[in-house]
Amino acid sequence: MFLNFSFSNDAVGYIVDGVMDTPAIEYLRDELLKKFEEHKKISLYLEDSGIDRFNLNSVVTTTLFPHKHRNRFHRVAMVTDRKWIHLLARLNGIFLSAEVKNFTTENRLKAIAWIEERD
């Protein structure tokens, strides 16, 4: 399940819990594609709020989608206490033209402030 919210026109956030399966990842992908239609670049806040499980398709898609759209992100904040998700975000960050930062759930307010910053 996703709770989505906007910081501004070009910055969006999603808090994710439950199961991260194919329908969930397709929903997230479709939402981001809608934002890309409206804006050349977006900033993205993603928070793991107790995801119960992931399936392989969701992990593959969340790894490949940013690469396909690597020039469309301005900033990406990943908020989770799972180190392996931080590792995936760092690996994705290598290939993106965006700034990517990892935050623990304890530091979610810092992540929100960082996403809202304007250069």
The CATH number given to whatever domain includes residue 12 is: 3.30.750.24
Interval 90-106: pLDDT, tens? 877 777 788 989 999 99
Confidence tier at 2 by pLDDT (50, 70, 90) = low
- Supply the pTM of this predicted model: 0.85
For 74-101, what is the mean pLDDT? Answer: 85
Structural domain including 11 reads: 2-116
Q: Can you tell me the distance from the alpha carbon of 45 to that of 92, in angstroms, rounded to the nearest whole number?
A: 15
> Which amino acid, residue 55?
N
Total domain count for the chain? 1
pLDDT at 57: 67
For residues 119 and 46, what is the distance between their CA atoms, to the nearest angstrom? 21
With beta carbons less than 8 A apart as the criterion, state whether 40 and 65 touch. no
Residue 38 has pLDDT above 80, yes or no: yes
The neighbour count for residue 76, using CB atoms within 10 Å, is 21
